[in-house]
């Protein structure tokens, strides 16, 4: 059997088990193109797998993503009797250290928003109004990039200040209450959109490009990277990657935690609410977003100091 046909059967099998399988299929289709879609599965050799896994440039964690996608596929082929032996290498390189998220300061977020009109050119697919609204919803509601781009007109309930996030990362849907300021900002965008790109389809995308179509991931990424450079927002800690759009979600979580500490709130209890709000399956997933910053350390330290003093006073 040729590899392209077997990949189709494997993807169908995975989806029947409840997997979304988008990333896995993307990797496997790329492998098909690399070795030739009509190549028989029995003709795949170790050198073919090594070349594909290596990719281009230096080693990244993408190696492991490609490896495990291929591993599941080849195990499927072996169980079916289409393949006798797994052609993958037996030695797996260590993962690249996890990148430290960048926590934007509020001043940096203002600089990004203020720079939008000057950073966007007329021939870009991303219009300034749309870029601004997307960045505000990423930071103001802590959404994932894909969640924001998949919002439809029906999902944005501005009279009740509620966003409906459907079938997200963990196959869950959730309701996300938003602040008054974010509601006003999205209302302004909705009014502009209705004038610039009118649509009667409530299932149409809330955020649209210059053509009135859904915004693609590459379009928003290109627009954001241009904006970040124009605004002069960059890392100075020696990390290998510059601040990303996804780091707005990290910043939302950290800034919320700092605010709770300042208010004297019960952070240990509220962190569970934050986990649900962010759409995480486990509390440990939320803890990854709570990257320590000097300000967060200061607030936590002050809280512990007050707690310690009470213990001493009652001793």
| CB distance 229 to 173 below 8 Å | no
User: Has residue 101 been placed in a domain?
Assistant: no
What pLDDT sits at residue 315?
46
Identify the domain containing residue 116 by its residue range: 106-231
**Spatial distance between the Cα atoms of 135 and 72, rounded to a whole number of angstroms:** 37
What pLDDT sits at residue 97?
66
Whether 56 and 132 share a structural domain: no
Mean pLDDT of 46-50: 94
Whether 110 and 227 share a structural domain: yes
Active site residue 10: no
What pLDDT sits at residue 191?
97
> pLDDT of 239-248, one tens digit each?
778 899 999 9
> pLDDT of 284-294, one tens digit each?
777 666 655 66
> pLDDT of 150-166, one tens digit each?
999 999 999 999 999 98
Whether 65 and 16 share a structural domain: yes
Final residue in a domain of this structure, among 18, 46, 80: 80
Whether 68 and 16 share a structural domain: yes
Is 32 a residue whose pLDDT tops 80?
A: yes
Paired with 2 in beta bridges are 40
Burial (0-12, 13-18, 19+ Cβ within 10 Å), 206: buried
| Sheet strands side by side (includes 174-177) | 156-157, 162-165, 174-177
Tell me the percentage of the chain whose pLDDT exceeds 70. 89
Select which of 169, 226, 244, 303 is catalytic.
169
Whether 16 and 49 share a structural domain: yes
The closest of 291, 220, 212 to 256, measured between CA atoms, is: 291
What pLDDT sits at residue 13?
94
User: Has residue 91 been placed in a domain?
Assistant: no
**Spatial distance between the Cα atoms of 120 and 126, rounded to a whole number of angstroms:** 8
Whether 227 and 112 share a structural domain: yes
**Spatial distance between the Cα atoms of 40 and 38, rounded to a whole number of angstroms:** 6
Active site residue 169: yes
Two tokens, residue 140 = 């103001």
Whether 224 and 300 share a structural domain: no
What pLDDT sits at residue 299?
60
Active site residue 249: yes
User: Has residue 113 been placed in a domain?
Assistant: yes
Burial (0-12, 13-18, 19+ Cβ within 10 Å), 297: exposed
User: Has residue 302 been placed in a domain?
Assistant: yes
Whether 128 and 201 share a structural domain: yes
User: Has residue 98 been placed in a domain?
Assistant: no
Select which of 150, 250, 256, 280 is catalytic.
280
Query: Please, what is the average pLDDT of the chain?
Result: 87
User: Has residue 238 been placed in a domain?
Assistant: no
The closest of 33, 7, 11 to 21, measured between CA atoms, is: 11
The number of distinct structural domains making up the chain is 3
Select which of 29, 64, 246, 303 is catalytic.
246
Whether 131 and 222 share a structural domain: yes
What pLDDT sits at residue 57?
73
**Spatial distance between the Cα atoms of 127 and 209, rounded to a whole number of angstroms:** 6
Residues near 194 by beta carbon (within 8 Å), at least 6 away in sequence: none
Select which of 64, 111, 144, 303 is catalytic.
144
> Could you tell me the CATH number of the domain that includes residue 186?
1.10.443.10
Two tokens, residue 312 = 């001493």
Mean pLDDT of 295-303: 60
Active site residue 259: no
Whether 49 and 118 share a structural domain: no
Whether 226 and 296 share a structural domain: no
**Spatial distance between the Cα atoms of 163 and 182, rounded to a whole number of angstroms:** 11
What pLDDT sits at residue 289?
62
> pLDDT of 110-144, one tens digit each?
999 999 998 877 667 889 999 999 999 999 999 99
Whether 225 and 263 share a structural domain: no
User: Has residue 251 been placed in a domain?
Assistant: yes
User: Has residue 96 been placed in a domain?
Assistant: no
> pLDDT of 238-288, one tens digit each?
777 889 999 999 999 989 888 888 888 887 788 888 888 888 877 777 766
Select which of 129, 249, 250, 255 is catalytic.
249
pTM comes to 0.73
């Amino acid at each position: 059997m040729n590899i392209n046909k077997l990949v189709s059967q494997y993807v169908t099998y995975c989806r029947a088990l409840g997997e979304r399988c988008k990333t896995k299929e993307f990797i496997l289709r790329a492998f098909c193109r690399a070795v030739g879609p009509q190549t028989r599965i029995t003709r795949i050799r170790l050198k073919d797998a090594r070349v594909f896994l290596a990719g281009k440039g230096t080693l990244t964690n993408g190696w492991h993503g490609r490896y495990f996608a291929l591993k599941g596929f080849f195990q499927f082929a072996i169980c079916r009797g289409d393949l006798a032996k797994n052609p993958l290498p037996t030695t797996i390189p260590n993962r690249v250290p996890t990148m430290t998220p960048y926590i934007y300061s509020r001043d940096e977020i203002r600089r990004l928003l203020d720079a939008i009109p000057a950073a966007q050119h007329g021939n870009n697919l991303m219009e300034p109004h749309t870029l601004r609204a997307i960045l505000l919803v990423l930071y103001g509601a802590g959404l994932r990039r894909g969640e924001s781009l998949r919002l439809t007109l029906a999902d944005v309930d501005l009279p009740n200040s509620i966003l409906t996030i459907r079938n997200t990362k963990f196959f869950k849907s959730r309701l996300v209450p938003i602040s008054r300021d974010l509601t006003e900002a999205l209302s302004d965008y909705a009014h502009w959109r209705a004038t610039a790109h009118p649509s009667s389809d409530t299932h149409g995308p809330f955020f649209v490009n210059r053509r009135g179509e859904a915004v693609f991931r590459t379009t928003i990424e290109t627009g954001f990277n241009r904006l970040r450079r124009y605004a002069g927002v960059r890392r100075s800690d020696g990390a290998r990657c510059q601040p990303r759009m996804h780091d707005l979600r990290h910043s939302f979580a950290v800034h919320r935690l700092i605010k709770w500490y300042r208010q004297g709130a019960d952070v240990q209890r509220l962190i569970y609410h934050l986990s649900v709000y962010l759409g995480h399956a486990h509390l440990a997933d939320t803890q990854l977003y709570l990257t320590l910053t000097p300000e967060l350390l200061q607030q936590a330290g002050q809280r512990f100091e007050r707690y310690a003093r009470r213990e001493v006073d009652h001793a």
